[in-house]
Structure 1
Amino acid sequence: MTFIRMAQSLSFVMVVALLAFSPLCSSQASGSAYLYPQFYDRSCPKAVEIVKSVVAKAVAREARMAASLLRLHFHDCFVKGCDASILLDTTGTMISEKNSIPNRNSARGFEVIDEIKSALEKECPHTVSCADIMALAARDSTVLTGGPSWDVPLGRRDSRDASLSGSNSNIPAPNNTFQTILTKFKLKKLNIVDMVALSGSHTIGNARCTTFRQRLYNQSGNGQPDFSLVHSYAAQLRTRCPKSGGDQNLFFLDFVSPTKFDNSYFKNLLANKGLLSSDQILTTQSAVSLELVKKYAANCELFFEQFAKSMLKMGNISPLTGSRGVIRKNCRKINT
């Protein structure tokens, strides 16, 4: 009997061992790998720290860079998924997403990504993807400016192409209607809660005069300003954003605490002092979004908690994994 029990035990151990090495358990090999924070623990253990170090230096040099790196991740994920396609330069056969309307003359931070990639290639060549660098840089930028932290799932790979048309059509625009913006979020499996929370990233950063000029002079095509914008704030904005000219003049998205990641953005919206039309419509076009704005304005911790959750969801939009992507040696170019 003892011999039989030992044989049964050995059989069970062998089955477990076989299952452990079965290709069905290797999602990486099957091309359907999932993302997880410890992805580089063995292949490049210093990866997360290297990204954090370079981002910290960049933000110390220029506070605005935090918002730029956060925006870069957002503008990448909303096109073809979080695949670093936004980083690719134009070639003879491909037009860069940098030339799209949402990115032209405004997307920035590419040199910081280059600096991170260069440091990582020295530490562990051909290992860390540009897409993962962007996801980590977005998290680090948020934390460095006082915002929440989250464990970034890793293991994304990089695309082999870009989509100018996708960049032009998928990224929410400052003058889009509420429904249009919500639809763009829903197409990426993000809901109205994600939309309001992620809009809260406008608690840091700048916007150009050209992105909100219509609110000051011709909101509805009748030569009248936006009724939802406080007169005194509008008058202040007009001094540096005239009817013509000054397109590139920069304005704080959150004039109260422009370099601090907090919930002032939502408080500004409740005071009708949102800079972009896409900001203010969160309080004027939907009872659901208005209620969320009120909650986040009243409770910064609640906003931080939801922002982290929504960033995790956004960072998981259609990632390339396994054989479906590559690790670019240079984030700006396709491997040759």
Structure 2
Amino acid sequence: MSFQSSFVLFLGSLLFLLLIATSFGQLQVDYYRNTCPDVESIVRTAVERKFQQTLVTAPATLRLFFHDCFVRGCDASVILAKRNGAAEKDNPIDLSLAGDGFDTLIKAKAAVDSVPGCKYKVSCADILALATRDVITLTGGPSYAVELGRLDGRISSKASVRHSIPHANFKLAKLKAMFASHGLTLADLVALSGAHTIGFSHCSQFSRRIYRFRSRSRIDPTLDLGYAKQLTKMCPTNVDPRVAVSLDPTTPWIFDNQYFKNLRQGKGLLTSDQVLFTDRRSRKLVNLFASNSTAFDQAFVTAMTKLGRIGVKRGNQGEIRRDCTMVN
């Protein structure tokens, strides 16, 4: 390769790195060092208090963050309310979001704004990112530095959710495409799916796997038969479809790598869970995370950091809301 060609390649690589940097370059761990230096401890205290009141705080907050970032970027738009019921949170997909997640953010925001020097200086989007890290740690998961500096979005649309959130019946191809559209790799996809080590889903999200599957047995053959029978008891045909079932039947309130061990046993609750093991393209990652909790923790932190950079608002694109539920 000639010197000229090498130089052109170098310039191209440098430009690419600069483009990446400008997409989330305003985010930094110590963003509030001069405006609200104790923001992390303030949020953590509020989250711990909420967590002590109800364990649902953890999965609810984690899921809220994911749903927020995947729709319009990490801008707390999922919190916005509209009188006509046309906000993101009014979409049927988001109606299943547990209220404890919203309540965690609102209480943490109130705690931050109660400090005179911090009042109206920290965005709801950043508080949600911090609260998410804190609930992961509180349930036994890894701690990590949270990049800050997001602004809150002013737009929230019910229609924008429909094609933005992965569905419970998605196979790997659809999941990969959706995550790739946000710059997330297959490793990120599998690691972030590991968040299902805590929390729950509803009978309506997996009932087809135990009652209406296209086979003579009527049960999804990728499901462990004993586990399938347990699910039929928890979700009989006449049950309220809103009844909740733990995503991890073994350690449902502990953030660990048990989720991946479950997949190897055919105990993934959702189709989008179990496919990570049945599909050869992702099976190696499942096996790695199942056998090495450190590898999972590291991959999860990397993926969460990348997730937190999606669609960050800057300048006149956003604001710091006084009330997380409405624009200023």
Q: TM-score, normalised by structure 2?
A: 0.89
Deviation at 1:222, TM superposition (A): 7.6
Give the CA RMSD over aligned residues: 1.7
What secondary structure is seen at the aligned counterpart in 2 of 1:170?
coil
What secondary structure is seen at the aligned counterpart in 2 of 1:302?
helix
Q: What is the alpha-carbon distance in structure 2 between the residues aligned to residue 65 and residue 223 of structure 1?
A: 38
One-letter code aligned to 2:42: I
Partner of 2:58: 66
Q: Is 2:265 aligned against 1:271? A: yes
Q: Is 2:304 aligned against 1:311? A: yes
Q: Is 2:251 aligned against 1:257? A: yes
One-letter code aligned to 1:106: L
What secondary structure is seen at the aligned counterpart in 1 of 2:94?
coil
Deviation at 1:220, TM superposition (A): 3.6
Q: Is 2:88 aligned against 1:97? A: yes
| 1:220 to 1:314, Cα distance in 2 relative to 1, 3 A | farther
Partner of 1:44: 36
2:278 pairs, out of 270, 279, 284, with 284
| 1:73-94 deviation line (CA, Å, top 9, x unaligned) | 00000001101000001234x7
Q: Percent identity?
A: 39
Deviation at 1:223, TM superposition (A): 7.9
Partner of 1:57: 49
Deviation at 1:31, TM superposition (A): 11
Is the 1:80–1:163 Cα contact (8 Å) retained in structure 2?
no
Q: Is 2:98 aligned against 1:80? A: no
Partner of 2:13: none
Moved over 4 A (4+): 30-33
2:295 pairs, out of 285, 299, 302, with 302
| 1:125-147 deviation line (CA, Å, top 9, x unaligned) | 21000100111111111111111
Q: Is 2:188 aligned against 1:197? A: no
Deviation at 1:111, TM superposition (A): 1.4
| 1:220 to 1:330, Cα distance in 2 relative to 1, 3 A | farther
Deviation at 1:39, TM superposition (A): 0.6
The structure with more radius of gyration: 1
Is the 2:24–2:309 Cα contact (8 Å) retained in structure 1?
no
Is the 1:31–1:324 Cα contact (8 Å) retained in structure 2?
no
Q: What is the alpha-carbon distance in structure 1 between the residues aligned to residue 38 and residue 24 of structure 2?
A: 25
Deviation at 1:193, TM superposition (A): 0.5
2:161 pairs, out of 158, 163, 167, with 167
| 1:223 to 1:169, Cα distance in 2 relative to 1, 3 A | farther
Deviation at 1:177, TM superposition (A): 2.2
Q: What is the alpha-carbon distance in structure 2 between the residues aligned to residue 98 and residue 325 of structure 1?
A: 19
What secondary structure is seen at the aligned counterpart in 1 of 2:245?
strand
The unaligned stretches of length 5 or more in structure 2 are 1-21
Q: What is the alpha-carbon distance in structure 2 between the residues aligned to residue 90 and residue 221 of structure 1?
A: 44
Deviation at 1:182, TM superposition (A): 1.2
Is the 1:75–1:171 Cα contact (8 Å) retained in structure 2?
yes
Q: What is the alpha-carbon distance in structure 1 between the residues aligned to residue 306 and residue 271 of structure 2?
A: 25
Deviation at 1:270, TM superposition (A): 0.1
What secondary structure is seen at the aligned counterpart in 2 of 1:169?
coil
Q: What is the alpha-carbon distance in structure 2 between the residues aligned to residue 218 and residue 332 of structure 1?
A: 40
Deviation at 1:217, TM superposition (A): 0.7
1:325 pairs, out of 304, 318, 328, with 318
Is the 1:54–1:115 Cα contact (8 Å) retained in structure 2?
yes
Partner of 1:147: 141
Q: What is the alpha-carbon distance in structure 2 between the residues aligned to residue 146 and residue 196 of structure 1?
A: 19
Partner of 1:236: 230
| 1:158-180 deviation line (CA, Å, top 9, x unaligned) | 01111222212111111122211
Partner of 1:213: 207
Deviation at 1:207, TM superposition (A): 1.0
Q: TM-score, normalised by structure 1?
A: 0.87
What secondary structure is seen at the aligned counterpart in 2 of 1:77?
helix
More displaced stretch, 215-224 vs 115-124: 215-224
What secondary structure is seen at the aligned counterpart in 1 of 2:147?
coil
The unaligned stretches of length 5 or more in structure 1 are 1-29
Q: What is the alpha-carbon distance in structure 2 between the residues aligned to residue 334 and residue 118 of structure 1?
A: 16
